[in-house]
Amino acid sequence: MAQTLVALTMPKFGLAMTEGKLASWTVDVGQATKQGDELADIETSKITSGYESPAAGVLRRQVAQAGETLPVGALIGVLADADATEAELDAFITKFQEEQAPQAESDTAEGPSSAPHPVEVAGYTLNVREVGSGEGLPLLLVHGFGGDISNWLLTQDSLAKNRKVIAFDLPGHGASSKNVQDGSLAGLAKVATSLLDALGVSKAHVMGHSLGGGVALTVLRDAPEKVASLTLIAPATIGTHVNADFITGFTEAERNRAVQHELEKLVYNKALIGRKMVDAVVRARRLDGARDALRTIASACFDNDRQRDALLPVLEKTDIPVEVIWGQEDAILSADAAKTLPDKVEVHVLAESGHLPQMEKAADVNKIVEEFLEKSEK
């Protein structure tokens, strides 16, 4: 069996994007590619941008042809190891179309739209994206410092096969209100629990990344009845140290080159930081109140290179299932903090990954989380 089969799907370049046109392929079938190589040009109503390879491999199939317009998430091609058989490729494509395409249809017909939408919560307007439905308990995704719901683009849909998966922009981030009050984890956690209430969710699995991991732990501490299980990705509040140069540099960077320099600290493979990611961060910083919101949160949560909140005792006391995923090369919050975790916590440290394993090692992270959620519900 081939070790690697990667679905290439129509990307989402902006919050309002629902479909895109495959203008052209820039790589031929059978050609080897590296992670970050441009594979195709994608046109939207606003821009034309390159589609960067999510992994190394060989382009084995061009499922979509130049000139086709397809919805976001539609299969356009397949990367695979050179030794993958045609039968394996056919089975992979068939399974993807059966499992993914019907889900998208059911979201439109029977469940909430997958397009982000505003939800009024506790005096905030939150930008929320809901996908999926099914018998599984809902999953709430909480992004990290300076992030937004796009941090879950390789995660949210993949985990929505039999459950609703909810992503939202924290206050001060993305398209949500820029007022963050005191910027504390307690305040952000209260917003998260209020969102669950507003959506009619009495209990959910919670997955948090970085600062969002600290928010998730605070939700468990302050509203344990809301949390069925906890998945923490490179979480804050477990260790004591934080890369203060990154926090300051990322918050204050204004020009594209400075922003790119800071973003590259987040990943093991620097080629992942493309032009469109840098442009998106620069645009986000220019929104009224965005930079001040990050300053307030940084001041509330960090004291130079020290984390103000220490929530390891929350994990020591809890009886719910908990897993932690960390990139071995994390330069923001060291994976060494995982060594302090209680034995009952399931720990995964991923090689050749930095602070964004859900993007650098998306397939691995999605598999780990999916299996964990299934075990948690047995």
Residue in 255, 356, 248 with CA at minimum distance from that of residue 304: 248
CATH 3.40.50.1820 placement within the chain: 117-376
pLDDT at 200: 96
Dist. CA 266–CA 126, nearest whole Å: 25
pLDDT at 89: 83
Dist. CA 228–CA 26, nearest whole Å: 45
Q: Does 73 score more than 90 pLDDT?
A: no
Tens of pLDDT, residue by residue over 185-228, are: 999 999 999 999 999 999 999 999 999 999 999 999 999 999 99
pLDDT bracket for residue 16 (50, 70, 90): low
Chain-centroid distance of CA 138 in Å reads 16
CATH number at 5-109: 2.40.50.100
Residue in 91, 98, 97 with CA at minimum distance from that of residue 70: 97
* Contact between 209 and 154 (Cβ < 8 Å): no
Dist. CA 301–CA 251, nearest whole Å: 14
pLDDT at 14: 64
* Contact between 35 and 173 (Cβ < 8 Å): no
Tens of pLDDT, residue by residue over 128-172, are: 999 999 999 999 999 999 999 989 988 998 899 899 999 999 999
Q: Does 38 score more than 60 pLDDT?
A: yes
pLDDT at 29: 92
pLDDT at 113: 46
Residue in 192, 246, 244, 220 with CA at minimum distance from that of residue 315: 220
High-pLDDT (> 70) share of the chain, %? 94
**Model-level pTM?**
0.74
CATH 2.40.50.100 placement within the chain: 5-109
Instruction: Measure the CA dihedral 334/289/188/18, to 10°.
Output: -90
Residue 269, amino acid: N
Tell me 291's DSSP state. Answer: H
Residue 119, phi then psi, degrees to nearest 5: -130, 130
In whole numbers, what is the pLDDT of the chain averaged over residues? 90
CATH number at 117-376: 3.40.50.1820
| Mean pLDDT, residues 52-63 taken together | 90
